[in-house]
Structure 1
Amino acid sequence: MSNSLDTKHLLVELFVEELPPKALKKIGDAFAQNLQASLKAQGLLADNSVLTHFASPRRLAVHLTHVLVQASDKQVMQKLMPASVGLTADGKATPALLKKLTALGANDSAVADLKRESDGKAEVLFFNSIVTGVTLSDGLQKAMDDTLGKLPIPKVMGYQLADGWSTVNFVRPAHGLVALYGADVVPVSVLGLTAGNITRGHRFEAGLDPLYIRDADSYAKQLVSEGAVIASFAERRAEIVRQLALAASEAGDKLTPIHDDDLLDEVTGLVERPNVLIGQFEEAFLEVPQECLILTMKANQKYFPLLDSLGNLSNKFLIVSNIRPADPSTVIGGNERVVRPRLADAKFFFDQDRKKTLASRVAGLDKVVYHNKLGTQGERIARVRAIAQAIATKLGIDPQQADVAAQLAKADLLTDMVGEFPELQGIMGRYYALHDGLAADVADAIEDHYKPRFAGDTLPRNPVGMVVALADKLETLVGLFSIGQIPTGDKDPFALRRHALGVIRMLIESKLDIGINELIAAAEKPFNALSDEHRTALLTFIFDRLANALREQGYSAQEIDAVLSLQPQRLADIASRLAAVRAFAALPEAPALAAANKRVGNILKKVEGEVVAQVDATLLKEAAEVALNQTLISVKPQADAAFARGDYSASLQTLAALKTPVDAFFDSVMVNAEDAALRSNRLGLLATLHQAMNQVADLSKLAS
């Protein structure tokens, strides 16, 4: 590889019309990474080359240090053909070989230099040649073409070039291309543009227009000083965060901007020179639930609402402007005028919605289609109510409250507020339920039955909410599995994986004393029963989600397989079972017992018919089988008692005493004795052993 003296720094910028702000970060990262990867693959980057990437609303750019003007020549060994095809019996080249060499730019004199090596089947001819390294101009052209074709563009648009005839496709029309190697322009072309050293700064505040970039290293500094643009996405984002914190401290005591990384990324994609300003609205609007006001300010206006120290919304908000006028009052006033009608709409919706009770809206759900094979939302609610009552009864929770919450859970879908802001479903239901005078537990359950909505989300805050959340998710799972809507690959249009994880989290984290089969049985009743195939598929689906979650928590595949292969019904016990398995695996006796357990399982599998786990002591002949039976008589009750009280570690620890008699049994006892009674009794002894060992987990899964 050439040393750093043979290299210069490279700057590439594509200047475009405003890019989609939500996609800018992803597109900018892909542009930089793909361009770097292509140049590196072509041998044009030194080992110490460093990437810096830029992405602003109107530009995608890359700066690379230590770029070679030409890649090093490479020695390439090319496989030609079998020697028997390329050479005659006396070692001369055949016409086929001469034709191949001509195509490679060689002549018959190269025949003497061909290498003969075996590929494992026959001798093959190899041609050793020197391939000239690609030049930067050719390599960059290829890298640009490859990169633009791989960008994660949400929606491509076609537009005409200046000639009026040609059409190209890109995320937005491109108007400029810069490619500088040091101070020299690299002659490349894309999207009908030819590279130069000219770009544009801020639309309104650039000191110079156009901007002539002196060299690759001056790009970012010139854009700031002459173009009024912070080109780096990361630097611009950090500047917005800094200004938000500063403005919040100026806005009032202990006010903080709402934390929202997605909004921050989107606003960073909207401005080139951020300027944070403080706006405010009338305090009367604070009578509206703050979730509504926050959502309309964030979603529609891209403002950062300000919260007080208790997390309550204030009547002040932060605006991230793209301009820096000497007098910002006009900008602030304009934003305040724009936000006021939005807040007024939210207040209107809230006032109108409260004129009707949630209960009066329930009948309207009969007209809302849920799924063409599963009926309306009204029919779905009837099923959720039945499931919720069944689960509440099993868990000792007031079934009447669960029924009311389930009945009203989806009623807010028919309100004006949720019609405008679907993200507020459940949240508005809670507010309207409290306005209707319903119990707080019922109101909370209406909001919480959607929980957990995403990884890391909180669980329902009370038992009624837990019951309705379980019922809602199980109704979805059972219903969609019953019609064969089972997720495959990446496709999961009904978010069934999320629903299954929600059920798992509630059962485990809330330590609910109910079995998974009981839950599925309760959820089946309002439907035509699941087929055996769909029931098995649903159980497997749930345990697969659980296994994935446990792997993310750091449990080994062996530990998970040992516990989940038994499909334990009470998921709240999973953690203690896994801990017990881990402790057991650390015992010196564990490897031998796991291997023996696997051997026992294999023996029992081969037996035709069911083996009953019972032993006739009078038929025990060999000393080793007598000893094993006596140890089992002593150990099994202890293990069973520990298992019954949920002390899984103690249950497995007692099994250590079985190692010596089990080893002795397999050393000296023939299980498949010719005498049928002896054989049956020994199989019964092994079945008893197998039963004792596999209550907590299938220990054979620990065998190496």
Structure 2
Amino acid sequence: MPDLLIELFSEEIPARMQTRAGEDLKKRITDGLVEAGLTYAGAAVLTTPRRLTLTVQGLLAESPTVREERKGPKVGAPDKAIEGFLRGAGVTRDQLEERDTPKGAVYFATIEKAGRPAADIIAEVLDATIRNFPWPKSMRWGSGTMRWVRPLHSILCILSDETGTEVVPLTVEGITSGDTTEGHRFMAPGRFAVNSFEDYEAKLKRAFVMLNPSERAEHIWNDATNQAFAAGLEVVDDKGLLAEVAGLVEWPVVLMGKIDDDFLELPPEVLQTSMKEHQKFFSVKNPKTGRIEKFITVANRETTDNGATILAGNQKVLSARLADAKFFWENDLRTAKSGMSAWTDALGNVTFHNKLGTQAERIERIAALARELAPVTGADADQAEKAARLAKADLSSEMVYEFPELQGLMGRYYIEAAGEDAAVAAVAQEHYSPLGPSDDVPTAPLSVTVALADKLDTLTGFWAIDEKPTGSKDPFALRRAALGVIRLVSENNLRLSQKKCFGLGIGLQQYSIEFRDAHSRGQEHEVEKIGPTGFITDGNDEKSVHLLSFFHDRLKVFLRDEGIRHDVIDACIAMEGNDDLNLLVKRARALNAVIATEDGENLVQGFKRANNILTQAEEKDGVEYSYGADLKFAETDSEKALFAALAEAEKQIAPALEAEDFPTAMTAMAALRGPIDAFFEEVQVNSDNDVLRRNRLNLLSQIRTICSSVADLTKVEG
């Protein structure tokens, strides 16, 4: 069985596209080979800035001969039907076979497709792959029509086995395949032939090309950390930057440079961001002080001066970049120390959304929400309002304008520089969190308050203008915002009525919308008379109810990773107080734990049986059996035992629910499993004796009432 080696050699491929391109090459080639009948033992893809390489091991030398039997029309069918079948099957009339079937004599054709050499199939698949490759961005060059991410120079495509090497012949837009490649652009120019993947990889290494991106990344990290350690320093971990830099070089040479003393007092995050974004440098910090003191750069070649010229050039460019950063930092500090009103006022000229007003208007709403939320989170209302008004002030700063990814972090520095409390300053950085499922959740009361207000304002705003997520489209990240609210509430154990929050948030949004509309007509005083409170609802309006339903759907996603089933959550959502997300999460976790046990699972079945019998009887009799059963009519031991068990369960469940101790309530409910099972095994509910029948139906009603006080078990699937 031969091995296949493909290399597509081009000008430099952007680092961010290399991994995906390698995956696409592997999938398209291997899928095409298998579809044509060529199976293989294994495949791997490797990338460098100038090449996509695929190796396929244990490939069939040719596709197998395939025989297919096809059923045709009946014997004696019209000639046109038979001729159509012959054309479709690619056979002649004398190749047809007559067979008897239960429906009479029928024509059958046996179609044989001969196998094809692997080289022919590979050529077709590779040609189609190159011509239709899914680059995010591509270009044409010269007079050709083919598109590639950068000009494609050569195609290496060989089959090799113990007998030798064969070039797979194909030509794509004037580029003919061969068995040669090139080494490093500067250190080993010129082409050379290869005869297998092992030979290819070894010769590339001698030509100063590390083919494996993981090997390049490991080499960079090891060399960087060793150099930093020798200087008593540490490299700041950044896996994303490491992967990107490994995609920029074929022969990584790690160099450590010094940052000018003028810039060492800049915040470490400013230094790190500036070096990463502009220069692709790693930051090197002093572990004792946390200060960034040096940098690591990765060159793509060795030099006779051991990188001195390269370092000198990089340090010169870096100094110019950091001089800008220092200028922004010092200007921003002066503004912050003289009061941040200049920045907050400037946000009145920044549009948040054309239907939701400016950032300044949004901050007013967030501040109002924060004041209302403060009693729930345990924050001081005045501090919460102040923190909300300052949290986004840094959006007007020069530093954040240059480096948007530093928003919040710079706000923390500036608010502290303005003389505000550290807890208020921390809100600027922490109120954006959590941004994702693995992001840390703020725990400081002020930060939690403003984070909730910020996310609730976003959600209620877009609900107020009917801009909701549809399908996979969520341009304003509203699903992420809802999950953020759920995590903030749940992980901080907050008791919060979402309906009340939605009524307040949507009311504030509506006031802003009406005020802007009235202002455009010169009638804003009419809206001012009503005031924001005139638009606030109790949360039972249509928009709030729909937003709560959206939250319930997000809650299912949030709890899915814990193994909590959707039907369990539905059983809890059906209960009163379903707008209290923390209560809902606790109830769902407790119910899920009980249902996972044998008693819990069987109890659900017993409950459903009782509920079905009771429902059918109530429909038939036209009455509701909810008046309480009488023990004196109990005939059997199991019936009497059920009376006792229900009384005991009710005695435990009611106070547990009052105390919101759901595990205790669920456990007490699960304990009913045995008595209910015994009752149904021994007792006929629909007795011929009407008195006994009514009493037993009322007993089933007690089962339904007690179980339904814990969760709506009708929603739980069997």
- Give 1:276's match in structure 2, choosing from 244, 248, 254: 254
Letter matched to residue 590 of structure 1: G
Shift of residue 641 of structure 1? 0.8
Answer with 303-312 or 276-285: which moved more. 303-312
In 1: Cα distance, 2:675 partner to 2:153 partner: 83
Given that 1:9 and 1:181 are in contact with CA atoms closer than 8 Å, whether structure 2 keeps it comes out as yes
Letter matched to residue 595 of structure 1: Q
Shift of residue 604 of structure 1? 7.6
Shift of residue 103 of structure 1? 5.5
Letter matched to residue 337 of structure 1: K
Given that 2:47 and 2:213 are in contact with CA atoms closer than 8 Å, whether structure 1 keeps it comes out as yes
SS at match of 1:170: coil
Residues 344 and 370 (structure 1 numbering): CA distance in 2 closer, same or farther, change over 3 Å? Answer: same
- Give 2:325's match in structure 1, choosing from 343, 346, 354: 346
Residue 156 (1) aligns with residue 141 (2): no
Q: Please give the residue correspondences for 1:459-470 in structure 2 after superposition, counting only pairs within 5 Å.
A: 459-470=441-452
Letter matched to residue 63 of structure 1: T
Q: Please give the residue correspondences for 1:148-297 in structure 2 after superposition, counting only pairs within 5 Å.
A: 148=130, 151-160=133-142, 164=143, 166-182=144-160, 183-206=165-188, 208-225=189-206, 227-250=207-230, 252-253=231-232, 255-297=233-275
Correspondence for 1:653: 667
- Give 2:301's match in structure 1, choosing from 300, 320, 323: 323
In 2: Cα distance, 1:469 partner to 1:248 partner: 38
In 2: Cα distance, 1:68 partner to 1:310 partner: 60
Shift of residue 99 of structure 1? 4.7
Correspondence for 1:615: 627
Correspondence for 1:3: none
What percentage of aligned pairs have identical amino acids? Answer: 35
Given that 1:185 and 1:195 are in contact with CA atoms closer than 8 Å, whether structure 2 keeps it comes out as yes
SS at match of 2:69: strand
Letter matched to residue 665 of structure 2: S
Residue 571 (1) aligns with residue 550 (2): no
Given that 1:174 and 1:191 are in contact with CA atoms closer than 8 Å, whether structure 2 keeps it comes out as no
Correspondence for 1:366: 348
Residues 584 and 293 (structure 1 numbering): CA distance in 2 closer, same or farther, change over 3 Å? Answer: same
With normalisation by structure 1, the TM-score equals 0.87
Residues 266 and 671 (structure 1 numbering): CA distance in 2 closer, same or farther, change over 3 Å? Answer: farther
Residues 292 and 691 (structure 1 numbering): CA distance in 2 closer, same or farther, change over 3 Å? Answer: farther
- Give 2:552's match in structure 1, choosing from 535, 539, 543: 543
In 2: Cα distance, 1:116 partner to 1:74 partner: 25
- For residues 409-460 of structure 1, give each alpha carbon's deviation from its aligned partner in whole angstroms, at most 9, with x where no partner exists: 2211111111111111111111100000011111001111100122211122
Correspondence for 2:476: 494
Residues 688 and 403 (structure 1 numbering): CA distance in 2 closer, same or farther, change over 3 Å? Answer: farther
Correspondence for 2:285: 307
SS at match of 2:668: helix
SS at match of 1:305: strand
Residue 71 (1) aligns with residue 101 (2): no
- For residues 148-181 of structure 1, give each alpha carbon's deviation from its aligned partner in whole angstroms, at most 9, with x where no partner exists: 3664422122223xxx4x3221221111111112
In 1: Cα distance, 2:63 partner to 2:671 partner: 69
Answer with 437-446 or 628-637: which moved more. 628-637
Residue 13 (1) aligns with residue 36 (2): no
Residues 334 and 612 (structure 1 numbering): CA distance in 2 closer, same or farther, change over 3 Å? Answer: farther
Letter matched to residue 338 of structure 1: V
- Give 1:88's match in structure 2, choosing from 73, 76, 79: 76
- For residues 7-39 of structure 1, give each alpha carbon's deviation from its aligned partner in whole angstroms, at most 9, with x where no partner exists: 222211111111111111111222123212222
Shift of residue 280 of structure 1? 1.1
Answer with 515-524 or 67-76: which moved more. 515-524
Residue 44 (1) aligns with residue 38 (2): yes
In 1: Cα distance, 2:105 partner to 2:475 partner: 55
Correspondence for 2:652: 638
Residue 24 (1) aligns with residue 31 (2): no
- Give 1:107's match in structure 2, choosing from 83, 86, 92: 92
Answer with 487-496 or 256-265: which moved more. 256-265
Residue 58 (1) aligns with residue 50 (2): yes
With normalisation by structure 2, the TM-score equals 0.86
Structure 1: runs of 5 or more not aligned: 1-6
Given that 1:117 and 1:125 are in contact with CA atoms closer than 8 Å, whether structure 2 keeps it comes out as no
SS at match of 1:67: coil
Letter matched to residue 251 of structure 2: R
Letter matched to residue 649 of structure 1: P
Shift of residue 557 of structure 1? 4.5
Letter matched to residue 218 of structure 2: A
Residues 176 and 342 (structure 1 numbering): CA distance in 2 closer, same or farther, change over 3 Å? Answer: same
Residues 671 and 575 (structure 1 numbering): CA distance in 2 closer, same or farther, change over 3 Å? Answer: farther
Given that 2:499 and 2:540 are in contact with CA atoms closer than 8 Å, whether structure 1 keeps it comes out as no
Letter matched to residue 380 of structure 1: R
Residues 686 and 406 (structure 1 numbering): CA distance in 2 closer, same or farther, change over 3 Å? Answer: farther
Equivalences, count: 676
Residues 116 and 368 (structure 1 numbering): CA distance in 2 closer, same or farther, change over 3 Å? Answer: farther
In 2: Cα distance, 1:453 partner to 1:692 partner: 41
In 2: Cα distance, 1:478 partner to 1:605 partner: 40
Given that 1:474 and 1:523 are in contact with CA atoms closer than 8 Å, whether structure 2 keeps it comes out as yes
Residues 57 and 669 (structure 1 numbering): CA distance in 2 closer, same or farther, change over 3 Å? Answer: same
- For residues 40-60 of structure 1, give each alpha carbon's deviation from its aligned partner in whole angstroms, at most 9, with x where no partner exists: 3322234xx232322111111
SS at match of 1:479: helix
Shift of residue 639 of structure 1? 0.6
- Give 2:314's match in structure 1, choosing from 331, 335, 339: 335
Given that 1:13 and 1:178 are in contact with CA atoms closer than 8 Å, whether structure 2 keeps it comes out as yes
In 2: Cα distance, 1:656 partner to 1:331 partner: 73
- For residues 600-639 of structure 1, give each alpha carbon's deviation from its aligned partner in whole angstroms, at most 9, with x where no partner exists: 555787879x999963678996668997666544431321
Correspondence for 2:492: 510
SS at match of 2:558: helix
Given that 1:56 and 1:233 are in contact with CA atoms closer than 8 Å, whether structure 2 keeps it comes out as yes
- For residues 545-594 of structure 1, give each alpha carbon's deviation from its aligned partner in whole angstroms, at most 9, with x where no partner exists: 22122222233455444444547444334565345334533665434431
In 2: Cα distance, 1:177 partner to 1:659 partner: 71
Task: Please give the root-mean-square deviation of Cα atoms over the aligned residues, in Å.
Answer: 3.3
Residues 586 and 461 (structure 1 numbering): CA distance in 2 closer, same or farther, change over 3 Å? Answer: closer
Correspondence for 2:403: 421
Residues 256 and 230 (structure 1 numbering): CA distance in 2 closer, same or farther, change over 3 Å? Answer: same
In 1: Cα distance, 2:648 partner to 2:195 partner: 88
Answer with 511-520 or 317-326: which moved more. 511-520
SS at match of 1:68: coil
Shift of residue 98 of structure 1? 3.7
Residues 433 and 586 (structure 1 numbering): CA distance in 2 closer, same or farther, change over 3 Å? Answer: closer
In 2: Cα distance, 1:672 partner to 1:354 partner: 89
